[in-house]
Amino acid sequence: MAKMNASFLELKKSYLFIEIGKRIREYIASHPDNKIIRMGIGDVTQPLVPVVVEAMKKAADEMGVKETFHGYEDSGMGYDFLREAVSGYYKKNGVEISPDEILISDGAKSDCGNIGDIFDSSTVVLVTDPAYPVYVDSSVMGGKKVIYANSDESNGFAAMPDKNVHADMIWLCSPNNPTGSAYTKEQLKEWVDYAIENDAIIIYDSAYEAFISDPDIPRSIFAVPEARRCAVEICSLSKTAGFTGTRCGYTVIPKELMLKTPTGEDISFMQLWCRRQGSKFNGVSYPVQRAAEAVFSPEGQAQTKKVIESYMANAKVMAETFDSLGIKYTGGKNSPYIWFKCPFGMGSWEFFDKLLNEAEVVGTPGEGFGKNGDGWFRLTAFNTLENTKEAMERFKKLFK
């Protein structure tokens, strides 16, 4: 009898974005001519930059000519040209990562979802709460035990390790989705020390690193050198360069990173992951890899920097609005997200409805990201400056 993986029954039903969609549709149906401003879903709004489009088109042309056609990629782990470009990007940011420690993926979500496959099902997984739901869901699907570290008001929504709690695998995300908080180097060092103490592996999601402008906030966990012994970093071009619909990311696995065999021997993390990917993945589309390479060219860096700056200009407008209203928040500085406590003592969904009905602005109730999101709310800077300003004007009126 073909039986299901019973761990799937342990998953929480996630109706967050479905419920948001339903409420928006209902509102639009009864107010068809009104202008709703969407600051809910974390998707980018600006198009791919010109140098990226040109690179993809050039690669598509190559694919149509026998002499320059690309079939299966030998390794499936990414073309050298892109691995070298990513390595150069790290170097520019002060971190040495060899190209052969960089694996190209079809986006951070795939690697975040699948990397638990090479860990034993007895693994205790520590997740900060609130968090991107993939960390918990993929752990639960794999039958692993999940424990939580609280991100809350007391620590500025940047959870720190508790030395009395043991974990084998640790998910960190900085700058954080959904809270916008970002770890300092000292805070990351504390996590790295905790991981080494526990023989644990940190999976570090740096998808929002491009939004960091503060020189004291590291863009990579490998800014802490000891992290090479205990961390994997998963990054994405989704937010860096608007690749949410183009699909490309990269994962860094230091050569010296090890897991333990059942008899306690060291075994190479890279070797295990490549064995997994070698059987279950066949590489990223060649034209997409060429498009990604263009992101790291001088022109690509200049063009994408402008896009990031435009989003951060929106975040500044939002932060100034919150400051003027005296509402405390995290994010908005090194992150496109602003995270705040729902005003008027409201719950997340209650405030969602008020914001939609009275200001025609859509945000995201915090409770979709974990229990510490109850009563909290997320707004994103992924919009035009004009819309952001208008949304903030409407927002202010709620408080009059």
Tell which positions 263-302 bind its own copies, by CB under 8 A.
Answer: 267, 272, 275-276, 278-288, 291
Q: Which residue's CB is nearer to its own copies, number 93 or number 244? A: 244
Cβ at position 35, least distance to its own copies in Å: 17
Residue 16: φ, ψ to 5°:
-50, -65
What the block records as the tokens of 81 is: 């040209």
CB 161 within 8 A of CB 149: yes
**Could you give the CA distance from residue 203 to residue 15 in angstroms, rounded to a whole number?**
26
138 binds its own copies (CB under 8 A): yes
CB 115 within 8 A of CB 273: yes
Q: Which of 88, 133, 343, 375 binds its own copies (CB under 8 A)?
A: 133
DSSP state of 47: P
Q: Which of 32, 215, 245, 298 binds its own copies (CB under 8 A)?
A: 245
Tell me the per-residue interface mask from 183 to 212 with its own copies, x by CB under 8 A, - otherwise: ---------------xxxx-----------
Q: Interacting stretch for its own copies, rule CB under 8 A, among 59-67, 184-192, 209-217, 349-357? A: 59-67
Strands 102-105 and 145-150 come out as unpaired
CB 34 within 8 A of CB 360: yes
Tell me the per-residue interface mask from 213 to 242 with its own copies, x by CB under 8 A, - otherwise: -----------------------------x
Q: Which residue's CB is nearer to its own copies, number 303 or number 321? A: 303
- Please list the residues that pair with 226 across neighbouring strands: none
Q: Interacting stretch for its own copies, rule CB under 8 A, among 29-37, 153-161, 243-251, 336-344? A: 243-251
Tell me the per-residue interface mask from 96 to 125 with its own copies, x by CB under 8 A, - otherwise: ----------xx-xx-xxx--xxxxxxx--
Q: Interacting stretch for its own copies, rule CB under 8 A, among 136-144, 327-335, 341-349, 372-380? A: 136-144
- Termini Cα distance of the chain: 63
Residue 140: φ, ψ to 5°:
-65, -45
> Edge-to-edge, what's the strand order for the sheet holding 145-150?
102-105, 249-252, 231-236, 201-205, 169-173, 124-129, 145-150
Q: Which of 45, 75, 93, 301 binds its own copies (CB under 8 A)?
A: 45
381 binds its own copies (CB under 8 A): no
